Structure 1
């Protein structure tokens, strides 16, 4: 008998939700200490298996660098746990004795996490920790090219949780993926909310499912190197950021914008650190293979080394080139490399001053990064603060944008799910944390008396209208009608 994989995947999704629901109903009665014990067990299990999961992810997805995926797994586990362990998500989370309001956490229930090919294991780790901290269970739908590593990660998390006393089924992952199965998960009546990390199509589907969703929009992050910047540090930060896991973090820089007075210095430093500047003809060749005609990224070149991209484009580059730099004098459809490039390619622009940089940043963000992030390297605080006017929710200053955006080198919430606010089609404008995955009850006492000022009632106003002189309906003039309307409106204003 031939197995219908679509039907089988739908059945699996229903089974996993049913099991997750049963687990969550038990988990809802756990106290803070019990939940924390589970989280610690998960973190320890991830730390012990970070390399294995990273190697699985690189092999299956054919994206990225093993060492950097290890670092992301450790960041998503230990660093996320340490940074969020103080957040109250169980029982009473605050009491205001003056206002006499008690805030009390309640779980959302069963969550669904839709995860990307770019960060397949670290996204599951982060989202599972945040979900379980709020006494939720979670079912993941992995990218079709990240099923094995996704299932291995979810299984490891679930086993570690069970060892610490959690009910079986708090974390699971589809092993049979299909569009139908993902839709079944997102629309299932027992699913409370969705965390969607991926492309705009996926995020739109999540928000169309008819229930609360947390989506992550696209980036296209511009970085401005202003004339007062420490050029060596700025260029080093950009190189570190854009080469980290071959540029796949959505907060990584996509185009460098350089202040004209320091142009030569920046170019020299980029070349010294291993960046290769493409010629005008090479820019065209690279643009044709990296970006599709519709303006999207060619999936085959996501997270690839410069040598792979150059070979595909028919370009000869030094074997030790770490980044490909594409000098450009425009943006939009005729300039493919002005779009988001989750790989080792950067656009390069030169501007006359910071105001021109601001305008160019906005135009680049309009190509697909509204609400996400922008970066600036500068020692001029006035100009830095001008970037608060940009249509993004993360302005990352003097640090690698990819690592600053996820909270590794900044004070932001450590996260691999970055909200883009309503401007980017997201329900949150900050980095997702466990505080977003709980409901909050409010127990509140009366502390002031209700008083109402005496006003003319509608009955009184209507009565006064009825006392107006009667008019022969057959002889009403337009001026009279206008007067009556004015009187009615005046009386309604009184009410």
Structure 2
């Protein structure tokens, strides 16, 4: 055998040995296959909170000992994982969760990968005077415990991973059980990419079989320095009551006001695009439209031109009965039927016995102010429209239906006074003027993005500096050069 053939044989042997190390291959050779809903063995995925926190603690210590250039390279690698695998990851997310649609998922995930800030967001500040110099730096918390939702698993984990690592932290994720396979796969892919760039193993960890119990253990674990929760009111309440510093992104019920000065053609298009985006599972999506009566019919006409199907009469009743599990009102919040959260408008209409065109993006219904959909964060492409007497009445009602979540709101208007008034009285983390909701996250609008919008705890649109502690160092009577 010549030297080249011998080398080739050795190379093949090495490849085969590596393949045989795979847990899935071992299972197949032994005649055992993992359960359909089991998470396969992956890097950074642990069976319990204690082991995950222990591994993340070691990784965080290693991270802060590395140069910032390595941290920057790690973040760029995370971005590439999403961008290079976007369609495949998005397809798996839709298949596993049953929510959203492939096209919008890819837009959302690319947005998270491209526009989440990195290390540049944590630059130090220096001030000097005749008494000397003071340096203020943004330091990491350590190990962060993060809870992520079923609605935006890829985008939320991506934003959290980039921002938290940029700030010098490691993370232990307790992902939503109904998105555990895609979430754990993503965390594992990120870990592999991080290691390839010289970063520590297990910088991102996740619980392989996440439960409410594991989330509670994570929130109370002595090794967790900071909690970051993106989810519904229950998990937000638990985090805020944990006794730890918590950054919480909770629910909202974003109203959209349209007045008589608005560009109705643009408003109709923008509202359909925003309210139908990923089948309305994003918390910032338009959840109810409050339209001034004089332009309401024109607005509905423009919405129909852009893919809205208007329900009437018995159709409204049928869809409402289908999608609302607990009717809400001014005195209490309603609850959607979870079976239809994130479903397509065509699927919802079909279940209600209604045939709609295949190009339908949104189900639109004109209703009264007391209709339960007005008072419910529905998270599906079913949009109520309420006719209002004038813009001031619409703005005042928007404050009421938003329920003090201080999350998101929109207005379409060319009246500077009304634009300013609504911005002030809504007091939201995210307020969009004359655009679809997602413009506020940098998709067609200026600024960075985040899918952890911390309205309950006040951080707003989170970024790397949100996940830091401010530290100050003062040098007296020196280093001022003027």
TM-score by length of 1: 0.82
Aligned residue in 1 for 2:241? 208
Return the offset for 1:183.
1.2
The separation in 2 between residues aligned to 1:287 and 1:337, in whole angstroms, is 11
The separation in 1 between residues aligned to 2:194 and 2:399, in whole angstroms, is 45
Q: Write out per-residue CA displacement over residues 11-70 of structure 1, whole angstroms, 9 at most, x where no aligned residue.
A: 522111110001111112223212111111221222211121111101100111112212
User: Does structure 1 residue 39 correspond to structure 2 residue 75?
Assistant: yes
Aligned residue in 1 for 2:383? 346
Q: Calculate the aligned-residue CA RMSD, in Å.
A: 2.0
Aligned residue in 1 for 2:12? none
Alignment of 1:20-99 (within 5 A): 20-80=56-116, 83-88=117-122, 93-98=124-129
Aligned residue in 2 for 1:392? 428
Q: Write out per-residue CA displacement over residues 64-114 of structure 1, whole angstroms, 9 at most, x where no aligned residue.
A: 11122122221111222xx4442125xxx1111237321023211011111
Return the offset for 1:312.
2.4
User: Does structure 1 residue 404 correspond to structure 2 residue 434?
Assistant: no
**Residue aligned with 1:96, SS:** strand
The separation in 2 between residues aligned to 1:187 and 1:77, in whole angstroms, is 30
How many residues are aligned here? 426
Aligned residue in 2 for 1:489? none
Aligned residue in 1 for 2:402? 365
Q: 1:192 aligns with which of 198, 214, 225?
A: 225
Check conservation: 1:115, 1:197, Cα contact below 8 A.
yes
The separation in 2 between residues aligned to 1:220 and 1:405, in whole angstroms, is 15
The separation in 1 between residues aligned to 2:468 and 2:266, in whole angstroms, is 40
Check conservation: 1:120, 1:146, Cα contact below 8 A.
yes
The separation in 2 between residues aligned to 1:400 and 1:263, in whole angstroms, is 18
Aligned residue in 2 for 1:123? 156
The separation in 1 between residues aligned to 2:187 and 2:467, in whole angstroms, is 18
TM-score by length of 2: 0.84
The separation in 2 between residues aligned to 1:10 and 1:196, in whole angstroms, is 20
**Residue aligned with 2:144, SS:** strand
Q: 2:326 aligns with which of 280, 293, 305?
A: 293
The separation in 2 between residues aligned to 1:258 and 1:174, in whole angstroms, is 46
Aligned residue in 1 for 2:309? 276
**Residue aligned with 1:386, SS:** helix
Return the offset for 1:349.
0.9
Compare relative contact order (CA 8 Å, sep 6+) and give the higher one, 1 or 2: 2
Check conservation: 1:371, 1:429, Cα contact below 8 A.
no
Check conservation: 1:251, 1:406, Cα contact below 8 A.
no
The separation in 2 between residues aligned to 1:166 and 1:128, in whole angstroms, is 13
Check conservation: 1:24, 1:110, Cα contact below 8 A.
yes
Q: Write out per-residue CA displacement over residues 292-324 of structure 1, whole angstroms, 9 at most, x where no aligned residue.
A: 116112211111111211222333434432211
Check conservation: 1:406, 1:418, Cα contact below 8 A.
no
Return the offset for 1:211.
0.6
User: Does structure 1 residue 228 correspond to structure 2 residue 265?
Assistant: no
**Residue aligned with 2:99, SS:** coil
Check conservation: 1:10, 1:180, Cα contact below 8 A.
no
Which has the larger Rg?
1
User: Does structure 1 residue 163 correspond to structure 2 residue 200?
Assistant: no
Gaps of 5+ in 1: 421-425, 448-495
Q: 1:436 aligns with which of 459, 466, 470?
A: 466
**Residue aligned with 2:198, SS:** coil
Aligned residue in 2 for 1:451? none
The separation in 2 between residues aligned to 1:236 and 1:85, in whole angstroms, is 37
Check conservation: 1:186, 1:194, Cα contact below 8 A.
yes
**Residue aligned with 2:122, SS:** coil
Return the offset for 1:133.
0.4
**Residue aligned with 2:432, SS:** strand
Gaps of 5+ in 2: 1-37, 39-44, 328-333, 478-482
Q: 2:299 aligns with which of 245, 266, 270?
A: 266
The separation in 2 between residues aligned to 1:320 and 1:113, in whole angstroms, is 38
Note closer, same or farther for the CA distance 1:13–1:267 as it changes in structure 2 (3 Å cut).
Answer: same
